[in-house]
Each structure stands twice: as C-alpha cells, then as structure tokens.
Amino acid sequence: MNKEGQDNSRRDALKTMFRGAGLMGLGGMVWGGMADGLKASELSLRPPGALKEKDFVKACIRCGSCVEACPYDSLVLATPDDNTAIGTPYFEARKIPCYMCTDVPCVEECPSGALDAALLSPKDENLAESMDINKARMGIAVVDQNNCIAFWGIQCDACYRACPLIGEAITLDFRRNERTGKHAYIEPVVNREICTGCGMCEHACVTEEPSIIILPVEVASGKVGAHYVKSWENKNDNKLNGATEKVNSDASAAEDYLNDSESLFDD
C-alpha cells in the first residue's frame, strides 16, 4: 500500500473508532497524554466550532478529516516546524482564510468532537443541519491603528469590503480630519460580538504586513473581574441585592456621571 493509502486507512480506522459510542473519553485520554508533551502556540487559529484551545488539543485525534473536507484548503495540519501541537489543524488567515462555508463541512466531518457542532447550533440542538457558521468564533479581528492607512486619512476599505458580515462585523466610522480640515477619516471598527474570526479582512488588507489581524478569542480578551457589575443590565439585579449603597441603575445617568469632568473638581 502506498503512503497515501496508508494515511487514508489510518484516518478511516481512527474515524470509525472515535465515532463508536463510549470511546470519545478514551480518545481524550490517549491524545491528551500525548498533547501534554507538546508545545502549543496560543496564537493558532482553529477551525470553526473548535473547543477552547486546551480542550481542543486534547480532543483532536489528528485524523485530518477537517483538512480533507475543507474545499478551500484553508486548513492545514501542524508539522514539527509549526509552533503549535503537531498534527492539529489550523489556518493562516493571511494565506488562506476560512471562507465560512454555510454547510461547515470541517465540523461535520470531525469524529472526535474537537470541532463541536453544538457551538454553532441553537441551544439544546446539536444537529449538523442546524449549524450556523455566523456563530463561529475562530478569533477576533484587531486593527493596528498605527499602520492601518485609513487611520492616516488615506481612503481604504479593503477589509470592510472583504468581510462576509459587511456592515455588521466591521463598520466604518467617519471622523473629521483636523489636519487637512476638509477630508474625513473613514476608519474600520470591528464589532467583536459579531466577528467570526474568519480572517477575510486580514487576507485582504493592503499593507505590507496586515494591519488587521485575527487573534484567538482567549488572547484578544481581557477579564473584567467579578467586582465590576453592569447595573443597567437586568440579569445583574441579583448581584446587587445586599449592596449597602443605593446604586443608580440608569445607564445614561452613569455615563453622564463619568463624563462630567467638572464634578471631578468639586469640593
């Protein structure tokens, strides 16, 4: 049997084994043990529906089914030269982004649950048919305002136009150009609640190195801590029970207070 044939039979055998009920846990243990010895880069962009990085690296059985299923060759399996867990799938948005297939074949073909259809489906449904690629959170686009030429006042909307969720995941912000007095800055702004991390913006960016890049969600996110509460959100009412001081839950009043610089100088 040639090498390709051997690879395919290995892949088929792994798929059959992990599709068998009850063996998912075993898969996690076997590959999790191997994964412990591997150095995974937190910057790797994983396919849609991927579990959190640590869980993903443990659950992925390195079968390559997602890579094989991807019609755009976006996904590749990491080699020893790549700075991520060997054999796990990832993509480099600058080279080939995820084109957000509506049928999400990469997730559909994943036998281990490392790519989880439930993360792309409405709550309580785990059906491949209910997957919505717009729910993918492969990463978050981040704009480098120092090098994005739109922030220099040069007209460029390449990333905006490349975005499959144009006007939602990226919008354009118009701001007066005080330097020239007659032009406007037209700046891309990413809505992180909607951005899927597909990377089409990074792929399209016109600067020599991309000035909009995709970072994994965990890398791009801060952590606010439990002691800050958005009092104006209804579901937070319970957290405020027992608070000793009366809290003004009117959002506009809170914003007015923070923007009232004069009160800073009150006695």
Q: Does 16 bind ligand SF4 (CB under 6 A)?
A: no
Least distance (Å) from ligand SF4 to the CB of residue 81?
18
Q: What is the DSSP letter of 120?
A: G
Rounded CA-CA distance 136/46 in Å is 10
Alpha-carbon distance of 142 to 191, in angstroms, equals 10
Which of 35, 51, 57, 66 is in the footprint of ligand SF4 by CB under 6 A? 66
Nearer to ligand SF4, 217 or 229 (CB): 217
117, 120, 148, 169: residue in contact with ligand SF4 (rule CB under 6 A): 169
3-state secondary structure of 173: strand
Does position 158 bind ligand SF4 by CB under 6 A? no
Told to check if 44 binds ligand SF4 by CB under 6 A, we report: no
Which residue among 44, 84, 121, 196 contacts ligand SF4 (CB under 6 A)?
Answer: 196
Residue 2 CB, nearest approach to ligand SF4 (Å)? 21
Count each helix (H run) and each strand (E run) in the chain, helices first: 10, 6
Tell me how far apart the alpha carbons of residues 24 and 12 are, in angstroms, rounded to a whole number: 16
Please, where are the H alpha helices in 136-193?
Answer: 158-162
Among 37-45, 57-65, 142-150, 250-258, which window interacts with ligand SF4 (CB under 6 A)? 57-65
Residue 101 sits in the site that holds ligand SF4 (CB under 6 A): yes
93/75 Cα distance (integer angstroms): 10
Inter-residue contact 135 to 119 (CB < 8 Å): yes
Number of chain residues interacting with ligand SF4 (CB under 6 A): 43
List % helix, strand, coil for the chain (3-state, nearest 5).
Answer: 35, 10, 50
Q: Which of 104, 148, 156, 158 binds ligand SF4 (CB under 6 A)?
A: 104
Strand 212-215, strand 76-77: pairing: unpaired
The footprint of ligand SF4 (CB under 6 A) covers 47-48, 60-66, 69-70, 72, 74-75, 89, 98-101, 104-106, 109-110, 112, 114-115, 133, 141, 162-163, 165, 169-170, 190, 195-201, 214
